[in-house]
Homo-oligomer: A and B are copies of this chain.
Amino acid sequence: MQPKYKIWLEQGDTYVFGDGLVLILERIDRCGSINQAARQIGMSYRHAWGTIRKAEEALGYELLHRRVGGDDGGGAELTAAGKEMLRNYQAFRQDIDRKIQESFHRCFAGEQKFTSGSEAETYK
């Protein structure tokens, strides 16, 4: 038995930031292009850009600088605030992941039924 979860951030009742957006932003940070980043994760440019715009609107600041034209045909890079948001979220995500595992093992430690099999056996 193992814990599973989904986590995300909302502003009011609107999705603002989560694993999907992190995936896009990490790629953009690496390859400098929304188009390439979207293609790499099998997402349409329209969907990727829409998700970023919605987050920017909810946050009240820009996550990306877009460079239009130039030798490389334009591109995008994370703003300082975008980088900070990404870093904070990554730290949050990693911390939660560890805490959920710890809490699960502590809360269910008494139940021999859950600990009698190895992890590998759980997936038979």
The chain A residues found within 8 Å of chain B, CB to CB, are: 1-12, 16-17, 58-61, 81, 84-85, 88-89, 91-92, 95-96, 99-100, 103-104, 106-108, 110-111, 113, 122-124
Contact = CB atoms under 8 A, between A and B. Distances in A.
Given A7-B3, A12-B122, A107 B84 contact: no
Lowest 10 CB-CB distances: which A-B pairs, in order? A92-B107, A5-B7, A99-B99, A95-B103, A91-B107, A6-B6, A88-B107, A1-B11, A4-B10, A88-B108
22 contacts: A1-B9, A1-B10, A1-B17, A1-B58, A1-B59, A2-B10, A3-B7, A3-B8, A3-B10, A4-B7, A5-B5, A5-B6, A5-B8, A81-B113, A84-B111, A88-B111, A92-B104, A92-B107, A95-B103, A95-B106, A95-B107, A96-B99
